Amino acid sequence: RMEDFRTEVLGLVKAQMVKNAVIVPAGAKGGFVAKQLKKFASRDEVQAEVIRCYTTFISGLLDITDNLVQNQVVPPKSVQRFDEDDPYLVVAADKGTATFSDLANSISEKYGFWLGDAFASGGSNGYDHKKMGITARGAWESVKRQFQETGLDCQNTDFTVVGIGDMAGDVFGNGMLLSKKIRLVAAFNHMHIFIDPTPDSATSFVERDRMFKLPRSSWEDYNKELISKGGGIFNRSAKSIPLNADIRKALNIEGNAKAMAPMDLISAILKAKVDLLWNGGIGTYVKSEDETHAEVGDSGNNALRVNGNELRCMVVGEGGNLGLTQLGRIEFAQNGGLMSTDAIDNSAGVDSSDHEVNIKILLNRIVEDGDMTEKQRNKLLAEMTDEVGALVLSHNQGQSHVLSLANLQAVEKVADHQRLMMSLVREGRLNREIEFLPSVSKIKKRMNQGQGLTRPEIAVLLAYSKIKLSEQLVEDGIGKDADLIKEIHAYFPKPLTERFGEHMASHPLAQEIVAGHVTNNIGNRMGSTFSTYVQEETSASALNLVRAYLAAENIFSIPALWDSVNELDFKIDNGLQSKLLISIQALLEKATLWLLRNTREELSIQKLTDTYSPGVEKINNNIGSILTQTSQDHLQSQVNELTEQGVPEAVAQQVAGLQYHFYGLDIIRVAANTQKEVIDVAQTYFALEMNLDLHWLRNSVHNLKTDDVWQRKAKSGLGDEIDNSLRTLTQEVIQSSTDINDLGARLEHWHELNGDNIKHYQVTFNEIKAESVLTLAMVSVAIRELRNLI
């Protein structure tokens, strides 16, 4: 609409910038309005005018874009450039232009633009988003994950839904076919209101599937004989719509109203007490209580729009863009609702386009070199459709899952989120007000009330942290790292890697692809605060951060363990499963910090893996003979606790043993310094830990409550002090008794050499241990006494 298209485009720009976290392009959003349409134009006349406008729009973009000719940048004619060379411009199907990809590519071809049919994704020889159902499938991953938090398996258990859209639409239509257990109670589009008070999931699924396959359909095409008692299909143009007891009950409409205006009925549908609200339409239907309709900028829906605190659904799935304002999302989440953002939920479409473009750029070069025909290229593209879909959906799964983990820790991590926001603001990357993120004073208020950021707010931070890390990696020259450039193979489908893997490192966007791929992997495992926190703690470059992190994953075999825990979906309690994953996150953060602080030479993923992985594996395989009896009993107790709750024995042992595996880094360092066997050093290390009661001290540090960033830094520092002191003491004990092989005799010899200091340590330690409430100061004194033993 002429009156609000600027607001529409601005909202889409914000969503697009957040989606850029999962794709290569920096991204932008443009739009056009066909403002010279005739008042009573036919459908064909409207289409012709829209095509004319679109042609002008695309031509205008290409008129001011650099081109590549024989790998040389050629600036556009009659253009004075103020920016650097930038020939990368791609367009993706969107509102009103979903079928225009071939048209855009034909315009690109006339301009001789270097990308060929990679310019506009989704054309005749591209990935059709509607046929793949990729946008809806991506959003459905968020829906499944959030239902899992409540214990509901929406693929195997009936659940109720209200929706925005119709079965002819890509996102709504595909979405309502992603589970055979959907009980669609009500839905509406711009023409009709559909109500089925008590639907049968199996029967209604078959009917929706039939409608989706029609060339064109509306809710009027739904077989009315299949609609349950009291339901029906109603025109939005009617003055009023009759109500009955069945409709009132299904939509939780109070009183005995006999009829309702269509707009009011739609508001009731939005506020219905159902399991899922699925948005697959166009428009903004939910705002916050504090926002005005004018601020929303979608006047056509003012009469039916509701507030976030009025929604009574359990989960919102945002297959479409801008269905809720960000403040509406936050309000819904603060009232216990589960949702992310549109940019998180429906990123699969743009992600699919990104893969298509990068695959075509690679294959077009191979075609140009004569190693493949265009027909063969098109056949291969089609054959890889499922693989591309799986790669894209892995991003949706990862993002949604890490947001669930972050949401569980929102209160305890609020100081970390505040620190991240301050860092992003300081660097000029983030404007809190534009992104509706709380100010410093509002954060303090939430902390005082025992509240953290909501999931929609954390989703914004996740995207910004990814964008920051990806940009830093490009600036650091990630493409020049021999180990990291190999990560490009994981971005592309396997058939492509197997046939043309040797060409991938020379892809024009290889560096950006690797930076984005690595960033997504780290962000989707570790969350929004990890990279900035580690960099601020160590002053490490983004490149070294990534090297240390990936080395840590290798050393502790994390990918396999992470997958093993994920395979326990609905087999164990979701809260327990999340705790297991959070413990893995904690290990990875500590290990990454350790590797950055303890590696003086140039960081190499392969070298670090080769140095530490064998020793950690040896400790893992011999944990029974390494630990003291007390530690063995403690470890077994943890394993038993997990197995009793359904965790497989092997997984329980791996997760429970993570803390001991981490100590392996210090043990391996001492073994290298003393030329002793890892097992021998480990036995000394854990014997000293028991002898000095450091397990209790470590737990005391872990249990210290922190209210701000500085207290967390102090707490982290105390933990490091314990680790460093024990490592140094282990080395001293071994070096002071090089000719003594018996562990007991070795420790006895050390006691003889340090008797007075050890006695003073034990007296002070016991005094502190006797206190009922431990403070940061008390623990600091205990650690100072520990250092005095060195």
Query: What pLDDT is attached to residue 705?
Result: 82
Q: Decide: 458 and 334 in contact? Cβ < 8 Å.
A: no
Q: Quick one: average pLDDT of 359-372?
A: 94
Two tokens, residue 97: 């232009």
Please, what is the average pLDDT of the chain? 94
Query: What pLDDT is attached to residue 71?
Result: 85
Mean pLDDT is lowest, of 94-98, 103-107, 130-134, 293-297, for: 94-98
Query: What pLDDT is attached to residue 97?
Result: 77
Q: Quick one: average pLDDT of 570-587?
A: 97
Cα–Cα distance measured from residue 31 to residue 238, given in angstroms and rounded to the nearest whole number = 33
Q: What domains can you pick out in the chain, each with its CATH number? A: 5-130 (no CATH), 133-348 (3.40.50.720), 692-790 (no CATH)
Q: Is the pLDDT of residue 95 over 90?
A: no
Digit-coded pLDDT (tens) for 668-722: 999 999 999 999 999 999 999 999 999 999 999 988 887 777 887 888 899 999 9
Q: Quick one: average pLDDT of 351-358?
A: 94
Cβ neighbors of 352 (< 8 A, separation 6 or more) are 121, 127, 129, 132, 134, 388, 389, 392
Query: What pLDDT is attached to residue 278?
Result: 99
Cα–Cα distance measured from residue 747 to residue 688, given in angstroms and rounded to the nearest whole number = 8
> Choosing from 29, 180, 579, 769, which is the catalytic residue?
29
Digit-coded pLDDT (tens) for 645-675: 999 999 999 999 999 999 999 999 999 999 9
Cα–Cα distance measured from residue 51 to residue 57, given in angstroms and rounded to the nearest whole number = 10
Q: Quick one: average pLDDT of 6-20?
A: 72
Query: What pLDDT is attached to residue 26?
Result: 67
Q: Specify whether 29 is catalytic.
A: yes
Q: What would the DSSP string read from start to end of 183-239?
A: EEEEEE-SSEEEE-SS--HHHHHHHHHHHHTSSS--GGGS-GGGSPTT-EEEETTSS
Q: Quick one: average pLDDT of 453-477?
A: 97
% the chain with pLDDT above 90: 84
- Tokens 């590549």 belong to 68
Q: Which residues of 227-249 are buried (b: 16+ CB within 10 A; e: fewer)?
A: bbebbbbbebeeeebebeebbbe
H-helix or E-strand containing 260?
Answer: strand 259-260
pLDDT band at 772 (very low <50, low <70, confident <90, very high): confident
pLDDT band at 6 (very low <50, low <70, confident <90, very high): confident
Q: Quick one: average pLDDT of 113-141?
A: 93
Q: Decide: 228 and 243 in contact? Cβ < 8 Å.
A: no
- Tokens 């903004």 belong to 284
Q: Decide: 697 and 782 in contact? Cβ < 8 Å.
A: yes
Query: What pLDDT is attached to residue 25?
Result: 63
Digit-coded pLDDT (tens) for 411-433: 999 999 999 999 999 999 999 99
Pairing of strands 159-164, 182-188: parallel
Q: Quick one: average pLDDT of 434-463?
A: 95
Residue 485 DSSP class: G
Query: What pLDDT is attached to residue 41?
Result: 84
Digit-coded pLDDT (tens) for 589-648: 999 999 999 998 889 999 999 999 999 999 999 998 899 999 999 999 999 999 999 999
Length of the chain: 790
Query: What pLDDT is attached to residue 738?
Result: 80
Q: Decide: 322 and 300 in contact? Cβ < 8 Å.
A: no
Q: For helices 649-656 and 658-674, what crossing angle results, to 10°?
A: 60
Digit-coded pLDDT (tens) for 378-399: 999 999 999 999 999 999 999 9
pLDDT band at 19 (very low <50, low <70, confident <90, very high): low
The pTM (predicted TM-score) of the whole model is: 0.91
Query: What pLDDT is attached to residue 70?
Result: 86
Query: What pLDDT is attached to residue 43?
Result: 82
Digit-coded pLDDT (tens) for 32-84: 888 888 888 888 888 899 999 999 999 999 999 999 998 899 999 999 999 89
Q: How many helices and strands in the chain, by DSSP H and E? A: 36, 12
pLDDT band at 454 (very low <50, low <70, confident <90, very high): very high
pLDDT band at 292 (very low <50, low <70, confident <90, very high): very high
pLDDT band at 9 (very low <50, low <70, confident <90, very high): confident
Query: What pLDDT is attached to residue 39?
Result: 81
Cβ neighbors of 421 (< 8 A, separation 6 or more) are 430, 432, 437, 461
Q: Quick one: average pLDDT of 574-602?
A: 96
Digit-coded pLDDT (tens) for 211-245: 999 998 999 999 999 999 999 999 999 999 999 99
